[in-house]
Structure 1
Amino acid sequence: MKHISILIASFLFSLLFFDKSIGLNLSIFSIITIVFLGFYNLKAFKNQRIRFYTLAYIITAIFVFVQHSGLSIIANCIAFFTLVGAISEQNTSIYVNWLNGMFTTIAAFFYRYISVNGSEEKVDWKKNIDILHLAKLIGIPLVFIIVFVLLYKNGNPVFNDLINTISFDFINFQWVLFTILGYYLFSNISKPVQIEPITSQDKQITDKLYKSEHFSEVQLKKEKQLGTTLLGLLNLLILLYIATDVTYLITTNATTGTELSSQVHNGINTLIASIFIAIVIILYFFRGNLNFYSENKILKNLTYVWIILNVCLIGLIAIKNQNYIALYGLTYKRIGVYVYILLTCVGLITTFLKVLNIKNMVYLFRINTQIAFILLIVFSTINWDHTITKYNLNTAQNFDISYLINLSNRNAVLLYEQKDNIIASHEHKKRIDTKYWSYVEDVVQNEWQEYSYETFVISKKTSKLRN
C-alpha cells in the first residue's frame, strides 16, 4: 500500500512540475503533501504545533497562487521544511525543524537504510540488500541480450529489419527521471527522520538561565560597577545624539534627494553599529551570575533605559525614511530600511525580555528565528511590486517611472490601467504597453499547472476587450 501511494504521488509530482514553471502546481503540491504526511503520520497532526505549521504551510500555498512572487515561493518552501521537520520531532526549536526537514527531504531514504529504528546501529547491507547480486541479476543478462541481438542482426535480414523498427521515442526519459525524483521525495517525507545528536541536545536545553556554582560576590560587584559606569555614560551619549538629531529634523528642511538619502543612509549605518554594540554589551554583562546578583537593580534599569533610547533612535530613522519616501516614492531599498528597523526593534525587545526574565542565549536564538519565520510568511502575502507602484502613482510627490517599468510583471496591469494618468514620455508609455501585452501573452500561454490568480484576472480583461 505504501509503495502504491508513493507511486501515485510521484506521478502527480511529474504531472504538476515536469517542464512547467511555478504557479498553481506548487499550491496543489502543498495540499498533496499535507494529505500524504497526514496519511503516514496521523498521530503527529494531533499536536498543536504541527497544526500551526500546517496552517502556515497552507497560507503560503494560497499566496503562491494569489501573489505568485519569489518571496511567497521561498516562504512556501521554508514552511514545507518546517512542517516535515516538526513531524520528525515536535518538541524542538524551529531552526532544528528546518535542519530535520531539509535532511529528511534530501537524505531520509539512505538514512533509513543505514540505521535501525532511529538508533545509531548500522545495518548489515548484505543482509538487507545484496547489491552485488542485484547488479549481477540485472547487468549480466542485459549485456548478453545486447551481444546476441547484435549477432542475430548480422545473421538474419528479417530480424535486423524488425530490430530497426523498434523505437523508444515514445519514452520520455527526462519525464521518467523526474518521476523517480518525485518517488524519492515522497519516499523520504513519508517517515521524517532526525539529525542526531542535534535534535536530542536541543530538546534537553531550556531557555532558563541558572546560577553557576562559582558565585563570587567580589567579582560580581566589580563587574556591576563597570557595567553601571559604561551604560550610564552610553545613556548620556545617546541622549545627546537623539537631542541633536531631533533638533536637526525640526530646524532643517531637507528637500533634495541627496540630502534625504544621506540622512537615511548615515542614520542606518549609525543604527547598525549602535544596535549591534548595544546588544553585545547587554549580553556580555547579563551572560551569567550577574543576573542573580542582589545589587544589580541600577544596572538593569540602565539597561532598560538604553534599550528604550535605542528604540527612540530607530523611530528617528523611520521618520527620515518616511520623509524620503513621501518625496521620492517607494523602492525596495526603502522598504528594506523599514524591514531592518522592524527586525532591530524585535531584537531589542527580545533582549529586553531576556534580561527581564533571566533567559539564556538559546532563548534569543529560538524566539528570534520563530519571529523571523512568521514575518517571512506575513511579507510573502504582499504584492510588493503592486504596492510600490500604487503608492508612487497615487501618493509620492516624485517617482522614477523607469524604475516602476523595470519591476516584475506583477505591476503590469496597474501600470497599463493608469497609463493615461501618468505624466511620462511617449517612450515610457510605449514601454508600459509592451510590458503589459508581453505579460498578457505569457499568461495566456500558461498551462493549467502554471496558473495564478492573475491568470484569471488577465483572461477576464482580455475576453472583455475581444467582445
Structure 2
Amino acid sequence: MRNATFLFLWLLYYLLFWEEGTGINLVLFGLLVSLSSKALQKQWKLRQGEWPYILSFFATAYAVMAYNSALGIFAFCIINFSYQSFLWGPKLSVLEHFSHGFIRIFNFQKALLPEPAYGPPSGRRAFAVLRLSILPLVIFGLFFALFRAGNPMFKEWTNDFTGLFTQLFEDFSWGLFWFMLLGFFILRSFFLRNKSWPLSFQPGDFIQRKPGSKKQKSFSSLALKREYRMALLVFLSLNILLLIVNVIDIRWYWFGFDMPSYFSLKEFLHEGVAYLIASLILAAAVVFYFFRRNLNFYPGNKSLKLLAQIWLIQNAVLSISVLLRTKYYIDFHGLAYGRILVLSILSIVLVGLFLLNRKLSEARNYSYVFRHVSLYSLLLIAGLSLWDMDSTIVRHNLSHGRINEIDVDNYLRLNSRVLPIIYANLDRIEEQINAHQSNDVRWIQYYDIEEFSRALDTRKEVFLKGEAKQSSWSWNWADAKSRKSLASL
C-alpha cells in the first residue's frame, strides 16, 4: 500500500510541477503527502508535539499562495521535510526531524521503494542487483567522461560507442529524467521508516547526578573541585574580556554615534554579526561543557553560576550592540533581505541566551536548549513567511531620506509582485539614481533612468512570458495580481 501511494504521488509530482511554477500545486502536493502519511499509519488524531508543525504548515501554505516569495516556498519545504520525519518517527525535536528528513534523501542502503518488495526470489534478486549497480554505474560514467576529455586516443576509440549512445537517446529529455529522479528520492525519503537516528539528543530535559563508587569517591571529589576552579577561572577571564568589548561598544555607538567619512558601515555590521555568532557559540560551548554533569550539584557553586549568568548577560549586551549596528545600517542604506536576516538571527540569539540561563538555574541539559531553540526557529520562519517582505523593502527604500545611498539595483532582484510598485515610482527612483552621481564611489549598475527602465521592461516581459506558459496549477494570488497590473501598463 505504501508503494502504491508513493508511485501515485510520484506521477502527481510530474503532473503538478513539470514546467510549472509554484502556487496551488505546491500546497496541494504538500497536503496530499501529509494526509497520505497519516492514512497509511491510520493515525488521524494529533500527536503530542504536532501542533507547531500544523500551524507552520498552514502559515507557510498561506504565504505561498498570497506572496509566492522565496522565503515562503523555502519555509514550506523545510517544514514539510521536518513534519514528514515527525510523522514516521519517534517524538524528537524540530532540529532532529529536519536533519533526518534531509539525510533520508541520500539513504541508499534501504530499498529503492519505501516498502520492501515481497515478490518471488528472482524478482528480489533483480531488485537487489539494480540497487547495487547504481553507484558503480555513476562512478564508471564519471571516469569515462574524464578519460574522454583528457585522452585524445581514447576519445577516438570510443567515438562509435558514444555516437550510438547519442542516437539512442537523441529524443530523450535529460531534464525530465533528472527532474523525476529528484522527485523520486524526495518522495521516497518522506515514506521511509527510520531504524536509527544519526542525530539524536539525550531524552529528558534535566541533568541527572551521577554518583561515584566508594573507591572513587575521594578521587571524584578532588577532580570535581579542580574542574570547579578551572571553570571559575575561565568564566572570570571571559567576563573581563567581554566587559572591555562591551564598554567600548557602549561608549562608542550606543549614545550619539557619529560615523566618520572613511567609515565602512558594511564591514561594521558584518564584523558585528561574525563576533556575535562566534561569541554565542563559545558561550554555549563553555556553559555546556562545565555544566554537563555533577558541577551543577557541586556545593558552593553559586559564585560559578553567578559568573556564568553574567557571561550570558554580557552576550545579550553584545546582541544589543549588533542590533544598533543593524539599525544604523538600515538608517543609512535602507532595508534588504540580509539586514532582516540579521534581526532574525538576533532574536534567535536572545532566545538561546534565555534558555541557557534556565539551563544554569534549573540544571537543564543541552537537549532542552536545542529542542526549544529549534522549535522557536520553526515558528519564526513560519511567521516571517506571512510578512510581505518585498513590498515592505520597496516602500521603505523609496521613502528613505538618504537617496544617494539606496541600492537601486536591488529593486530588480525582488519578487515580481513589486514590479507595479516600481513602475508607479519611477520618478523617485530617477531621483535616487541622479543622487548617486554625487558619490565619490559609484557602486550601482544603472547610470540613468532610461537604462533602469529598459531592465525593468525586460524583467516584466520575462515574467509575463513565464506566466503565459504556466497552467492553472501554478496559480497564486500574488502573481495573478501582478500579471493583471503589468498587462495594463
The TM-score range, normalised by the shorter chain, is 0.7 to 0.9
**Structure 2 match to 1:145:** none
**Structure 2 match to 1:29:** 29
**Structure 1 length-normalised TM:** 0.76
Q: C-alpha offsets along residues 197-248 of structure 1, whole Å, 9 cap, x if unaligned?
A: 659x76x733321112336333333333333343234334433332232222
Match of 1:43, SS?
Answer: coil
CA distance in 2, matches of 1:38, 1:177: 29
Shift, 1:353, TM fit = 2.0
| Mean CA deviation greater in 20-29 or 5-14 | 5-14
Match of 1:303, SS?
Answer: helix
Letter in 2 for 1:81: F
| Percent of matched pairs sharing the same residue | 23
Structure 2 vs 1, CA of residues 70 and 179 (structure 1 numbering), >3 Å: closer, same or farther?
same
CA distance in 1, matches of 2:307, 2:356: 14
CA distance in 2, matches of 1:301, 1:177: 57
Match of 2:258, SS?
Answer: coil
**Structure 2 match to 1:163:** none
**Structure 1 match to 2:68:** 68
Matches within 5 A, 1:217-296: 217-249=221-253, 250=255, 252-254=257-259, 256=261, 258-296=263-301
Letter in 1 for 2:423: Y
Structure 2 vs 1, CA of residues 103 and 379 (structure 1 numbering), >3 Å: closer, same or farther?
same
CA distance in 2, matches of 1:303, 1:333: 32
Shift, 1:291, TM fit = 0.3
Match of 1:49, SS?
Answer: coil
CA distance in 2, matches of 1:254, 1:180: 54
Shift, 1:126, TM fit = 1.6
Shift, 1:321, TM fit = 1.8
Structure 2 vs 1, CA of residues 178 and 280 (structure 1 numbering), >3 Å: closer, same or farther?
closer
Letter in 2 for 1:239: L
Q: C-alpha offsets along residues 47-80 of structure 1, whole Å, 9 cap, x if unaligned?
A: 1433442332232222222222333222222222
Partner of residue 324 from structure 1, selected from 314, 325, 329: 329
Q: Is it true that 1:435 corresponds to 2:442 in the alignment? A: no
CA distance in 1, matches of 2:87, 2:235: 45
**Structure 2 match to 1:375:** 380
Structure 2 vs 1, CA of residues 229 and 177 (structure 1 numbering), >3 Å: closer, same or farther?
closer
**Structure 2 match to 1:426:** 449
**Structure 2 length-normalised TM:** 0.73
**Structure 2 match to 1:168:** none
**Structure 2 match to 1:209:** 207
**Structure 2 match to 1:453:** 477
Q: Is it true that 1:89 corresponds to 2:68 in the alignment? A: no
Structure 2 vs 1, CA of residues 348 and 177 (structure 1 numbering), >3 Å: closer, same or farther?
closer
Count of aligned positions: 421
Structure 2 vs 1, CA of residues 240 and 453 (structure 1 numbering), >3 Å: closer, same or farther?
same
Residues 348 and 376 in structure 2, CA contact (< 8 A), matched pair in contact too: no
| Mean CA deviation greater in 99-108 or 389-398 | 99-108
Structure 2 vs 1, CA of residues 15 and 269 (structure 1 numbering), >3 Å: closer, same or farther?
closer
Matches within 5 A, 1:103-142: 110=112, 126=121, 129=124, 131=126
Partner of residue 422 from structure 2, selected from 415, 425, 432: 415
**Structure 1 match to 2:411:** 404
Match of 1:92, SS?
Answer: coil
Structure 2 vs 1, CA of residues 193 and 45 (structure 1 numbering), >3 Å: closer, same or farther?
farther
Q: C-alpha offsets along residues 303-347 of structure 1, whole Å, 9 cap, x if unaligned?
A: 111211211121012112201211221233333332332333233
Q: C-alpha offsets along residues 139-166 of structure 1, whole Å, 9 cap, x if unaligned?
A: xxxxxxxxxxxxxxxxxxxxxxxxxxxx
Give RMSD over aligned pairs: 3.8
**Structure 2 match to 1:165:** none
| Mean CA deviation greater in 238-247 or 430-439 | 430-439
Q: Is it true that 1:38 corresponds to 2:38 in the alignment? A: yes
CA distance in 1, matches of 2:174, 2:327: 55
CA distance in 1, matches of 2:175, 2:242: 62
Matches within 5 A, 1:298-337: 298-337=303-342
**Unaligned stretches of 5+ residues in structure 2:** 131-171, 434-447
Letter in 1 for 2:62: I
Residues 23 and 475 in structure 2, CA contact (< 8 A), matched pair in contact too: yes
Structure 2 vs 1, CA of residues 69 and 256 (structure 1 numbering), >3 Å: closer, same or farther?
farther
CA distance in 2, matches of 1:194, 1:12: 25
Letter in 2 for 1:92: L
CA distance in 2, matches of 1:2, 1:208: 39
CA distance in 2, matches of 1:112, 1:3: 6
Letter in 2 for 1:451: W
Residues 412 and 436 in structure 1, CA contact (< 8 A), matched pair in contact too: yes
Structure 2 vs 1, CA of residues 256 and 442 (structure 1 numbering), >3 Å: closer, same or farther?
farther
Shift, 1:187, TM fit = 7.5
| Mean CA deviation greater in 410-419 or 90-99 | 90-99
**Unaligned stretches of 5+ residues in structure 1:** 116-122, 136-170
Residues 329 and 396 in structure 1, CA contact (< 8 A), matched pair in contact too: no
Structure 2 vs 1, CA of residues 431 and 7 (structure 1 numbering), >3 Å: closer, same or farther?
closer
Match of 2:207, SS?
Answer: coil
Q: Computing the radius of gyration over CA atoms, which structure comes out larger, 1 or 2?
A: 1
Matches within 5 A, 1:382-397: 382-397=387-402
**Structure 2 match to 1:118:** none
CA distance in 2, matches of 1:438, 1:416: 16
Residues 271 and 314 in structure 1, CA contact (< 8 A), matched pair in contact too: yes
Match of 2:50, SS?
Answer: helix
Residues 419 and 482 in structure 2, CA contact (< 8 A), matched pair in contact too: no
**Structure 1 match to 2:438:** none
Structure 2 vs 1, CA of residues 15 and 275 (structure 1 numbering), >3 Å: closer, same or farther?
closer
Structure 2 vs 1, CA of residues 314 and 416 (structure 1 numbering), >3 Å: closer, same or farther?
same
